[in-house]
Structure 1
Amino acid sequence: MHAVDLLPVENAEQDGGKSGDAIVVEFPFESEARQAVMIIDGGRTYTSDQLIDHVREHCRTSVVDLMICTHPDADHLNGLTRVVEELRVRELMIHLPFNHHEDISEFSNLEALLGLIKTAIAQGTDITEPFTGLTRFAGQLEILGPSLEYYQELLFEQLGADNHIIASAEVMFKRAKSKLKEILSHVPLETLDNLGQTSARNNSSVITLLRADQKRMLFTGDAGITALEHAAQRYEATVGPFSSMPISMFQVPHHGSRRNLGPAILDRILGPKESPYAKYTAVISSAKVDEDHPSPKIVNALLRRGCSVIATEGNTISYGDGWKSRTGWTPIQSLQYSAEDDDD
């Protein structure tokens, strides 16, 4: 039995963003013939109680085998500290920027990051930095990105303001040029382009592949196009071509932001819209109060590639067969979007 449960992260105050990620994964650890429990991101501070209760009630345990913090933004990290305090977390995978840069005083959300690490150490939790190639659960789980070198490059970009300003100006010029080209070509059926850019911090997100019950599930955090390209290269090298070894579940990065995906990377991972590799489930953590996410452009592009698209939107959603063992739970339902929704 495996279940990927995406808990709702709603931020009505809208300080620092409206959405967030909080994911509980239960799956068979094949070599030990038992169920394993993993948490990927913890939403905001007030999400922690939901996570703790969910693990105890639905996973029927107080032990978390692995916790992954994809990156240290408040809507991914801040809910994890109380989870470490209240549950037995065996291992925490998290990047430690102070191991890779002399001065991290300007690193945002630093206090919460250090607080989580301090709590984990006090609770006896093993701490590991997740870089490309790291495996767990006898190879069922593999970190596809970022590599150590790419993470260090992104960290320098985050803490190097001048470089970031120059890059942002270049991106703005490319977007303006792309928009003009789009207007002159009378807007193609798929308006999503390959020029989307996200921050270095988002691109440093841990990208995780989990294999369970003959399914391959891809978790992406807030990763952008470049980070996903690196992860796709690793997947093709260690698993095989997506065309013959397709994934079954795709966590859409950054709450369905149009800045994190483009047609080329979607074609590579899911297959072109004319001939997708398989039928997929695309899951999105997006707040009901967040009117901008998921982007209709993203939803439309996923639908065109054969995806069943679902989003939290204030509810807990579950992928897999785990819902069968839970009183009152039913299968996930698709968002009802059509191609006309693509003109955002």
Structure 2
Amino acid sequence: MSKKIVLVLSIILCLVGCGDTYTSEANNPSNAPIENGNLNVHFIDVGQADATLFSYNNKDDKYTVLFDTGDWQGDEVVPYLQEQNISHLDLVIISHPDADHIGQLTDVLENIQVEEVWMSGNESTSQTYLDAMEVILDQDITYQEPRTGEEFTIGPLDIEVIYPETISGKSNEESVSIRLSYDEVSFLLTGDAGKQEELEMIETSKSLDSTVLHLGHHGSDTSSDTTFVKEVKPELAIYSAGQDNSYGHPSEEVIQLLNNENIEWYGTDVNGTIIVETDGQEYSVQTDNPHDDSDPSECVNINEARAEELQEIVHIGASRAEQIIEERPFESLQDLDVIEGIGPSRIADIEEKGIVCSLE
């Protein structure tokens, strides 16, 4: 049975009752990198825009999903994919047609083999949107408009559509929102959906509980309702925003909420591209810190370093950096176990990296 027929059947079944599972057929290149069966989630530094890559590679099993494609004025996404040896994407999801989310889709479609594209169904008169739709039609790429409650499987990745249930022309508010799970670790992405839509997600979803929350609307206070964040219960929050952006993203109100809830957080404006790697049970965070002016050759003294310097240490985000400042001085690295979420295994990771100055 062809993939397009499977998709048509999936849509027909959803008319009877959504929740049926569609399994995407992978046809991945042999040159994709081997990553030991782990899922790597790349929150790509694309300035004041969004682009997130889900990449799973284990010998011959290779699956890739791209959520949003950066800003129309940028050119970061395709080079980044090529650096990862990715020439094939099982799925591209565009949360909504704004130029900072659909921006580089045409470039992606013209340079990377794409099996299927999801969009909300809300349209735009922008040339960026029109060009992308023309390429989708010209290449006869499978196109779908997912709705609340639909569930899909791509290899070991389970995707649940959280929003929208219907559309009415509200581009930002009706962003395609997904919860992607890999065994016990899950990621929730909501595009530019606002607080009202987040509250609707609570009402229409079986569970929003997720390990990692990609903050809505670049960390703006138009998203991240307190009730919503508490319902998601993330261990980690990540926002995508441009360095020194004119919008004031992320909002101080949102950052304070994360700190109050003891949620570790990272942002592309500070940390550059952020990679979360998981085996389905535990996860680690890697950053390249391109916007950090500190000298990487110098060790970090946890009793003296500024919050920005502390974030160079693996497992230490902004929230934990503030906790370290409040709890110091420390007599040994083992004393970091007083920090929320830092246990023996993470202390061992910190020691292994060798970036922390000796306290003896």
Is 1:320 aligned with 2:277? yes
Distance 1:257 1:293, change over 3 A: same
Return the alpha-carbon distance in structure 1 between the equivalents of residues 202 and 81 of structure 2. Answer: 31
Shift of 1:55: 2.0
Q: Secondary structure at the match of 1:76?
A: coil
Name 1:334's counterpart in structure 2.
Answer: 317
Offset from partner CA, 1:263-290 (integer Å, 9 cap, x none):
22222222xxxxxxxx611010011021
State the AA in 1 paired with 2:158: Q
Return the alpha-carbon distance in structure 1 between the equivalents of residues 192 and 65 of structure 2. Answer: 18
Greater RCO (CA < 8 Å, at least 6 residues apart) = 1
Return the alpha-carbon distance in structure 1 between the equivalents of residues 201 and 264 of structure 2. Answer: 22
**Number of matched residues?**
254
Larger Rg: 2
State the AA in 2 paired with 1:289: D
Return the alpha-carbon distance in structure 2 between the equivalents of residues 300 and 108 of structure 1. Answer: 37
The answer as to whether partners of 2:147 and 2:165 remain within 8 angstroms in 1 is yes
Name 1:141's counterpart in structure 2.
Answer: 159
Distance 1:97 1:309, change over 3 A: closer
Return the alpha-carbon distance in structure 1 between the equivalents of residues 277 and 193 of structure 2. Answer: 23
Return the alpha-carbon distance in structure 1 between the equivalents of residues 100 and 135 of structure 2. Answer: 18
Q: Residue 254 of structure 1: which of 217, 229, 236 is its match?
A: 217
Return the alpha-carbon distance in structure 1 between the equivalents of residues 316 and 69 of structure 2. Answer: 23
Q: Residue 4 of structure 1: which of 30, 33, 41 is its match?
A: 41
Distance 1:206 1:28, change over 3 A: farther
Q: Residue 216 of structure 1: which of 161, 186, 193 is its match?
A: 186
Shift of 1:21: 0.5
Return the alpha-carbon distance in structure 2 between the equivalents of residues 26 and 34 of structure 1. Answer: 11
State the AA in 1 paired with 2:217: H
Offset from partner CA, 1:124-156 (integer Å, 9 cap, x none):
3111112212332267111110012xx12xx1x
Q: Secondary structure at the match of 1:229?
A: helix
Shift of 1:223: 0.7
Offset from partner CA, 1:283-335 (integer Å, 9 cap, x none):
100110215011111011012212111000161111224999x9x89956513
User: What is the RMSD computed on CA atoms of the aligned residues?
Assistant: 3.0
The answer as to whether partners of 1:40 and 1:70 remain within 8 angstroms in 2 is yes
Q: Secondary structure at the match of 1:74?
A: coil
Q: Secondary structure at the match of 1:144?
A: strand
Percent identical among aligned pairs is 22
Return the alpha-carbon distance in structure 2 between the equivalents of residues 108 and 299 of structure 1. Answer: 34
Q: Which runs of 5+ in 1 are unaligned?
A: 11-18, 99-106, 156-199, 271-278, 340-344
The answer as to whether partners of 1:25 and 1:37 remain within 8 angstroms in 2 is yes
Q: Which has the larger share of helix?
A: 1
Return the alpha-carbon distance in structure 1 between the equivalents of residues 315 and 114 of structure 2. Answer: 28
Q: Secondary structure at the match of 1:37?
A: strand
Name 2:243's counterpart in structure 1.
Answer: 288
TM-score by length of 1: 0.66
Distance 1:260 1:123, change over 3 A: same
TM-score by length of 2: 0.64
Return the alpha-carbon distance in structure 2 between the equivalents of residues 332 and 202 of structure 1. Answer: 32
Shift of 1:33: 7.7
Is 1:267 aligned with 2:210? no
Return the alpha-carbon distance in structure 2 between the equivalents of residues 256 and 108 of structure 1. Answer: 26
Return the alpha-carbon distance in structure 2 between the equivalents of residues 130 and 89 of structure 1. Answer: 17
The answer as to whether partners of 2:241 and 2:267 remain within 8 angstroms in 1 is yes
Is 1:54 aligned with 2:102? no
Q: Secondary structure at the match of 2:193?
A: coil
Name 1:204's counterpart in structure 2.
Answer: 174
Distance 1:97 1:264, change over 3 A: closer
Shift of 1:208: 0.4
Shift of 1:52: 1.6
State the AA in 2 paired with 1:302: L
Return the alpha-carbon distance in structure 2 between the equivalents of residues 83 and 55 of structure 1. Answer: 9
State the AA in 2 paired with 1:115: D
Moved over 3 A (4+): 321-324, 328-333, 336-339
Q: Secondary structure at the match of 2:64?
A: strand
